[in-house]
């Protein structure tokens, strides 16, 4: 077949769209081998930095193989200099006909490098090795011209693949970053959003590991940390002063204002900052794969570190607003709406798993008289001190609530009547031990006491409103009996029954 017809035939057979270099080589190498009557054609990628050409793909008698072979190349040797000029070189070592052909194409630069250098493309090189195993079948000058023509056409196809691949990766990156932006903008609950942010970063950038270290807003010490690896699993990191000091020692910009830090090409640390306040750090590493973190990734991560910081700040603000809406400012106890929601959930849980649940309803004895005698400032202080005793005397699972005025209600999950009485006794004693500021009473000593009524699910009632009513009945009975102590509904219900029956 004449050379021009052969090249046109190759062009026609290569006119389909290829999505990867490997797909292109699988299709092209057997065709080229057939044109040149070569038993084997191999494609090598040329890593100029390492002066090595690495085997990527081989076609042997029409069969495709992936083998490993590295060939050292001295770029400054006369042979290689001439090869780069001519595009062809006979093998200087093998004793059968072998020819090397240069394949050059253009690939888009990373966006950051393109911006800084003003260049949009860079050159890449590959090497084709054509082999004829019969010593008598030397490559003719006509064969070499055909090889140059085939390499030129192959270069054009690789150019198209590189540009298509770049555009596809940019599109995927844009979609992923848009998804990240939506996630950051919608993040409200801190604990959940942190994990989702780490997962999304991992899915987008595929680092070996992404870690997040957060500072306590008040102490500015690392108090919370999470890490996500390639599996997507998010784990909590044990934090310590050593972790905090390790970051500060790497921050030349100031104790808490940390600039962009890169300890190496495979580790990147970024500050999470809002209005000059450092919220923590993001750390990305490829310590296992040793893959270099690209400048384009650094540019994207710098951009999104600000959005992540904003998401964290918004989440903290949301939680603070939630806290303010759920808790009483004076007593620091939760409000009735929040308490009722939790009580409803706990009753459901107790019913499902056959558990007991106790509630204590209490108030400060003679609180109206205290307010009238010593003023509302003293009354508020008394309420704060009693609430403090309650908050510091309960378990983490217990929920105390300012129910109204000086009334306080306490939910005690998985608690029996006897256990609730022990808690009530302890609260009574601790309230009696409160020492009020005499300056608020013009030197007079004022001792506080509380009265408490107890009701237990499911024995006293299985309905939420009625359970609270039972505790209120028990509290009223204590007040009638002289105040300053406690009683459970089961203790006084017989007396109530007698009253209703007129006995």
- Band of the pLDDT at 249, cuts 50, 70, 90? very low
The region of weakest confidence among 274-283, 316-325, 468-477 is 316-325
Q: Cα Rg for the chain, rounded, in angstroms?
A: 39
Looking at residue 278, what is its pLDDT? 80
- What is the pTM for the complete model shown? 0.45
C-alpha torsion sign, points 454, 459, 461, 463: positive
Distance between CA atoms of residues 392 and 272, nearest Å? 35
130: nearest Cα among 159, 157, 161, 94: 94
Looking at residue 109, what is its pLDDT? 67
Is the pLDDT at 56 greater than 50, yes or no?
yes
Is the pLDDT at 261 greater than 70, yes or no?
no
Distance between CA atoms of residues 88 and 25, nearest Å? 19
Give CA angle at 346 (455, 430), nearest 5°: 50
140: nearest Cα among 102, 88, 103, 104: 88
Looking at residue 61, what is its pLDDT? 79
Looking at residue 501, what is its pLDDT? 47
Looking at residue 112, what is its pLDDT? 44
Do 311 and 184 form a contact (C-beta atoms < 8 A)? yes
Is the pLDDT at 398 greater than 70, yes or no?
yes
Residue-range domains of the chain with CATH: 3-168 (3.30.450.40), 187-320 (3.30.450.40), 336-500 (3.30.70.270)
Looking at residue 237, what is its pLDDT? 81
Mean pLDDT on 309-338: 77
Is the pLDDT at 239 greater than 80, yes or no?
no
**C-beta neighbour count of 66 within 10 angstroms:** 10
- Band of the pLDDT at 270, cuts 50, 70, 90? confident
Ramachandran sector of residue 254 (left: φ over 0; alpha: ψ -120 to 50; beta: rest) = left
The region of weakest confidence among 181-185, 268-272, 371-375, 421-425 is 181-185
- Better-scored residue on pLDDT, 465 or 47: 465
Looking at residue 457, what is its pLDDT? 96
- Better-scored residue on pLDDT, 319 or 313: 313
Looking at residue 183, what is its pLDDT? 57
Structure tokens given for 214: 């957060």
pLDDT one-digit tens code per residue, 26-35: 899 999 998 9
Looking at residue 257, what is its pLDDT? 39
Mean pLDDT on 24-47: 89
Is the pLDDT at 326 greater than 80, yes or no?
no
- Better-scored residue on pLDDT, 339 or 219: 339
Looking at residue 464, what is its pLDDT? 94
List, in order, residues 6 or more apart from 312 with CB less than 8 Å away: 187, 190, 193, 194, 214, 272, 279, 280
Is the pLDDT at 48 greater than 70, yes or no?
no
Looking at residue 300, what is its pLDDT? 77
- Better-scored residue on pLDDT, 345 or 265: 345
**What does the DSSP assignment read for 291-343?**
PPPPHHHHHHHHHHHHHHHHHHHHHHHHHHHHHHHHB-TTT-PBPHHHHHHHH
pLDDT one-digit tens code per residue, 57-91: 888 877 877 777 788 888 788 888 888 889 999 98
pLDDT one-digit tens code per residue, 458-498: 999 999 999 999 999 999 999 998 899 999 999 888 765 55
pLDDT one-digit tens code per residue, 402-421: 998 899 999 999 999 999 99
Kind plus residue range of the DSSP H or E element containing 472: helix 464-480
Distance between CA atoms of residues 334 and 337, nearest Å? 8
Looking at residue 465, what is its pLDDT? 94
pLDDT one-digit tens code per residue, 430-445: 999 999 988 888 788 8
Looking at residue 463, what is its pLDDT? 93
203: nearest Cα among 224, 225, 175: 175
């Amino acid at each position: 077949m004449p050379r021009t017809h052969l090249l046109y035939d190759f062009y026609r057979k290569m006119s389909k769209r290829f999505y990867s270099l490997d797909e292109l080589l699988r299709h092209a190498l057997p065709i080229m081998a057939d044109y040149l009557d070569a038993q084997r054609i191999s494609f090598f990628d040329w890593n100029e930095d390492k002066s090595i050409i690495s085997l990527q793909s081989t076609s042997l008698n029409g069969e495709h193989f992936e083998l490993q072979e590295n060939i050292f190349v001295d770029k400054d040797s006369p042979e290689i200099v001439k090869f780069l000029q001519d595009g062809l070189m006979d093998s200087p070592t093998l004793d059968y006909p072998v020819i090397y052909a240069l394949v050059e194409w253009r690939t888009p630069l990373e966006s950051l490098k393109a911006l800084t250098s003003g260049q949009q493309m860079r050159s890449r090189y590959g090497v084709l090795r054509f082999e004829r195993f019969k010593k008598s079948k030397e490559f003719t000058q006509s064969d070499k011209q055909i090889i140059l023509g085939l390499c030129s056409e192959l270069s054009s196809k690789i150019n198209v693949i590189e540009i298509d691949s770049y555009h596809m990766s940019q599109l995927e990156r844009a979609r992923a970053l848009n998804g990240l932006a939506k996630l950051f903008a919608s993040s409200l609950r801190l604990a959940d959003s942190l994990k989702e942010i780490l997962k999304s970063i991992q899915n987008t950038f595929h680092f070996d590991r992404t870690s997040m270290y957060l500072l306590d807003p008040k102490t500015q010490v690392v108090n919370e940390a999470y890490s996500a690896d390639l599996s997507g699993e998010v784990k909590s990191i044990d934090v310590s002063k050593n972790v905090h000091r390790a970051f500060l020692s790497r921050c030349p910009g100031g104790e808490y204002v940390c600039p962009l830090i890169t300890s190496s090409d495979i580790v990147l640390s970024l500050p999470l900052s809002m209005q000059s306040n450092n919220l923590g750090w993001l750390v990305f590493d490829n310590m296992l794969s040793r893959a270099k973190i690209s400048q384009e990734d650094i540019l994207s991560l710098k951009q999104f570190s600000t959005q992540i910081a904003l998401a964290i700040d918004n989440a903290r603000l949301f939680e603070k607003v939630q806290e303010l809406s759920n808790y009483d400012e004076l007593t620091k106890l939760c409000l009735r709406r929040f308490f009722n929601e939790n009580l409803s959930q706990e009753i459901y849980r107790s019913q499902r798993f056959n558990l007991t649940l106790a509630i204590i309803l209490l108030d400060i004895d003679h609180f109206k008289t205290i307010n009238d005698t010593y003023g509302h400032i003293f009354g508020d202080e008394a309420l704060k001190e009693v609430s403090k005793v309650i908050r510091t005397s309960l378990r983490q699972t217990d929920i105390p609530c300012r129910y109204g005025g000086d009334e306080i209600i306490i939910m005690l999950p998985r608690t029996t009547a006897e256990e609730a009485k022990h808690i009530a006794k302890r609260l009574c004693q601790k309230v009696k031990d409160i020492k009020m500021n005499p300056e608020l009473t013009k030197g007079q000593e004022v001792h506080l006491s509380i009265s408490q009524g107890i009701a237990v699910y499911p024995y006293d009632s299985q309905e939420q409103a009625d359970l609270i009513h039972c505790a209120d009945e028990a509290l009223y009975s204590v007040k009638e009996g002289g105040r300053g102590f406690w009683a459970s509904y089961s203790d006084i219900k017989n007396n109530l029954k007698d009253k209703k029956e007129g006995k």
